[in-house]
Structure 1
């Protein structure tokens, strides 16, 4: 269902090259963002940022992806596009964030008035309509003030009870795996400038994708799908252990994780669900037999990169692939329909856009969509933080609680006052 849309029916789009130094440095692109409707998708200092709203659509329900895709197809067909760069992410681009469940929740695609991109030695600016972009460092954001944290929908004890309930159902044969999430509330004494946590996250987690769309922000380590010139990739994460900060101890933990039957089982479900979802769209695929250990500042993950070649890029966009993949076993469970029903029954909260696709797409259908993990939803002076854990038959509620607390760390730390990262 399309809830609303705005913007002219025909967009005038112009992309030109700019000096790469304008968009250099770890926080260089973020330094360009004003406070007006900023969006971002960055990794290792490269990617896209934008601001202003040239057009936008809001969708909901079971047709939220297809309705958004239809709106995008109509928008790109009517647009007047001049693109001197011809790279994925140049020309007309939308940013999107989708609801996890059919109901409740609202999804959106937004076309910024200005988009600045960087890819290797290339940098560009795209304008939509008659705007003159300011490509200069903005006044830095102020840190959040007086932030206090409080329980979300469930406190720790009640959430561990929910985990124990799920373990019992798994051992009774109802399902194989379910991902259970919890939330945490952060309240400041004044409205929070989202550019502050974005800078902190980009500096602290450079190998993750730092994103912001319509109040949803974070640094996700999990790429749901990338479509680029006919090639498709998906990074699957499932199986997690908290880091200690001691290098030798963390290496031992990495070895333990790589041989953990519980975590390998959880990971296998997630990889299998992604491979099965992509297979109908691919002429060939590469699915590694064993995962690698991804080292992040706060946690270690079992990870697998699944790759494939799309049969027909004219028929299948990156957004359609994201819809086909959502929700994978990494954020839902196995079997997926049973897991989703259990999540609705016992999780005790509305996920909103948490653990759903977030990212961007260009007019050709190329794009990158991550899973909105290590994320928070900003509303004025309040941020709702999210974390989730994969539950299988031998999961321990206390250990899962500790894992969830580790997954709160990126956004929680990003809201702390301190020196702002510089480019």
Structure 2
């Protein structure tokens, strides 16, 4: 098991062409777990040990699993990889792989720019929207009315697309398309149950830990990209000045700071957000950094659990937002808006917000997208935002609304 972890750095790394994309090409569903970050790419093969589901704290169970793997194998830095669902009562899908291969970041590999060969066995997708757009708009309107009456501040409402094809989807090809579309983001494919795979490309880092240093990158407030350059720039500039989106973003950043501050000797939160772009969306972004007060007893997963769920994927107040989500969404989120990532036995790791994703099972794909609803929200605009967010995955699978 080779699990070298590099410090995040802004210095370009010299990469032999094909080193990182080889892991992407070698991914196989069911047995493998691929997690690609802006700094390193991991491909886990097989399962050495699986995290048991129990009432014990998740962070303690993960640390026990890693300590036991270190004793059994002699490996200094065994890793746990996988996904944690949105619901705190649902079982995580975390394992220590039998073998982990590592490579530099996909974005540093020149071969990531090459197009993915077209598969001759393309799927003929049947698409069903759950809920239908008009029902989703009505749910947003109902939530906005409650917020204007002072019941709560924000809620994130999601909807799904169910894609069905005559045969099982080609997950390796989808994964390669997602990675090439946004190679600077977080690309992942992990089993979440027998016969079920979570696959996606998230732009949002929940939290990373390297020794005493932590980084969080909350995203909240979005605008669709435009193929027209002038219009794309106009949308980006408008997002930076939008009172509705700036308020939505500020709520999330304040919650992140409040959750992380107790763990930190120092914490730095910029006063104003910047912009992050993906192939489909502009997002308001704030990079929060800090130095841990006690790195020996605070792991990346400790920090992630303290943050999850942020108002960016749930709402505020959290408990009431969860209740509104359960009442308003006619489906179980599963892994969507949970977290996906890795952690080693020393507590370093990356945990990413599970968005821009789908769950694949048999001949069906279930896509997810949500929008942050505040008192100033427009039901039509939030519905359009979810449609724009679906584009990341629809383009990867060759489907359309």
Alpha-carbon distance in 2 for matches of 1:149, 1:181: 20
Partner of 1:65: 58
2:41 is matched with 47
Asked whether 1:24 is paired with 2:19, we answer yes
Q: Is the 1:68–1:108 Cα contact (8 Å) retained in structure 2?
A: no
**Contact 1:144/1:416 (<8 A) preserved:** no
> Please, what is the CA RMSD of the aligned residues?
2.5
Match of 1:94 in 2: 80
Q: Does 1:201 align with 2:186?
A: no
In 2, Cα distance between equivalents of 1:149 and 1:273: 40
Using the alignment, how far apart are the partners of 2:17 and 2:50 within structure 1?
A: 28
Structure 1 runs, 4 residues or longer, greater than 3 Å off: 13-17, 19-23, 43-46, 140-145
TM-score, with structure 2 as normaliser: 0.87
Shift of 1:75: 2.4
1:224 touches 1:369 (CA, 8 Å); kept in 2? Answer: yes
Deviation, structure 1 residue 73: 4.5
1:375 correspondence with 2:357: yes
- The reply on whether 1:115 has 2:108 as its aligned counterpart is no
Give the one of 56, 77, 89 matched to 2:50.
56
Query: In the alignment, what sits opposite 1:80?
Result: 73
Question: Structure 2 CA distance, aligned partners of 1:250 and 1:393?
Answer: 26
Change (3 A) 1:143 1:228: farther
Q: CA deviation at 1:69?
A: 2.4
Give me the whole-angstrom Cα distance separating, in 1, the residues matched to 2:345 and 2:18.
23
User: Contact 1:69–1:320 at 8 Å: present in 2 too?
Assistant: no
Change (3 A) 1:383 1:277: same
SS at match of 1:365: coil
Which has a greater percent of helix? 2
CA distance in 1, matches of 2:127, 2:263: 44
SS where residue 331 of structure 2 aligns? coil
CA contact (8 A) 2:3 2:79 kept: no
Shift in alpha-carbon separation, 1:243–1:16, aligned structure 2, 3 A: closer
Distance 1:335 1:143, change over 3 A: farther
Is there any run of 5+ residues in structure 2 with no aligned partner, and where? 6-13, 107-116, 192-196
Q: CA deviation at 1:321?
A: 1.0
**Number of residue pairs aligned between Structure 1 and Structure 2:** 377
- Cα distance in 2 for partners of 1:143, 1:291 equals 44
- Whether the 8 Å CA contact 2:220–2:372 is kept in 1: the answer is yes
Aligned to 1:253: 235
Structure 1 portions without partners, runs of 5+: 1-12, 84-90, 122-139, 418-423
Q: What displacement does 1:241 show?
A: 0.6
> Is contact 2:126-2:165 (8 Å) kept?
no
**Quick check: 1:318–1:361 contact (8 Å CA) kept in 2?**
yes
What TM-score does the superposition give when structure 1 sets the normalisation length?
0.83
Deviation, structure 1 residue 120: 7.1
Task: Kindly indicate whether the alpha-carbon contact (under 8 Å) linking 2:130 and 2:162 is maintained by their aligned counterparts in 1.
Answer: no
